[in-house]
Structure 1
């Protein structure tokens, strides 16, 4: 009996140890990565409980807004709120600067990604509203972990990587290093400008196509009228020719008839002449 109690105690202790280990692992294991970009770029690493377990500056400006903050063990919403406040305090978010904020969530859990990005977007907007900066554009996105690894290999935040790839789609041949240090607003502006130019170019081409189509129709109509005029003229020429031909035939027939009539009159006279001769002979008798 005592032996059984010892075994049960050992099992309970082991189970407790495993449980504690499991909780400890869950608390320290990365679950999501949150990148916060203005030009300061900062990345927060959170666990399964949405607690910040690490915070890293991804550029020099990121160091400035992080240096006065202790974000570890804080809820991710509170951490993002503090980051926004620090960016304002350090002069990165001012009305005259017209900066933009990009928050990107990296995780393989799609539902959790959408939920988190929406919540953090609201946190940022609320803080901006309190500071009378509610006109500052805020964009939230989410990516999977493979994309996060790709950004790490490039040495930039996932948010910046996404933006640069969007720019590359409309401006092929760009280099990542030329844009990795640029503020979010500059990259977004270039994307918008190129899209606007393309839209205007497309509209111009469509307008040109319409003009060319109209000109083609005018030429086609003119050609059609010309062809119809030619056909009418040709028909008129045929009619004139036919009239001339009929007139010519009438003259020939008239001449032929006149010749025939003249021939008939000559034969009659000859006959009459013979008759006279015959009469002459009779008189002699």
Structure 2
């Protein structure tokens, strides 16, 4: 795990000190990891005070949805309403009152009872948003493929925890799944936050290549750094083993030289990683501009439909209220019978 710890500490170099301190503090206060799947698919990290402290796209549609949409610092309920409202504007959710829409929800928290409350609160916010807009939509628990559920059962964890563990493994070079499964939810959430922060300016479509380039640098530099650390430890041990009064000049010179090499290698590693990040940042900005244009086009494409929807929303909301509630309650009844 030594390599993994080094990589995490290096990732932290790229994040602002204030953000990292904030992440550490919030992790102690048990943040929650939340996903919303409409297609777009979005992940949120939410504070104990129901404030969104992180939002990340999980697919290209979510890139378009979230571009220039600042959810950070918003109340969870307002953020969910804005996600749904924007999804309607872009045509991801139909403005047709008879079209049924499902939003799959998952929540992960260190405390199992709190996790369930948060998930139910998110579902309630989603359902309220649909009710207020007079649309046939509802929240439901995130479903997993049978083989994924079977895999989770084999590990003795929930599917949601396995999903988070795999997310952390994917984002962190050197972290093995068997190690991730032994970690707490808070530790996994912290890994996801730190890794996402390190590549927050990298567009979703470029992240696989970003990971590959980053991992290539890690594979090149980390073994060299670890080898120097071993040599330094050996020289330190030799100095400490000298008899009192023995001449340590040569060993101390060797130690100073090794420390200088280590510092130079770490600086070179840092600069190379920064160069990779800058290159992907430039490419990502170009991609985000294309997402902005796609967002404009989608808004224009659905503008007439959305305008009619908004004009009739108040009347439709009153007419559809009971029908929508009955539709949403079907999900609760289904869960009770499972």
Higher RCO (C-alpha under 8 Å, 6+ residues apart): 2
TM-score above 0.5? no
Give the TM-score taking structure 2 as reference length: 0.35
Larger Rg: 1
Give the TM-score taking structure 1 as reference length: 0.41
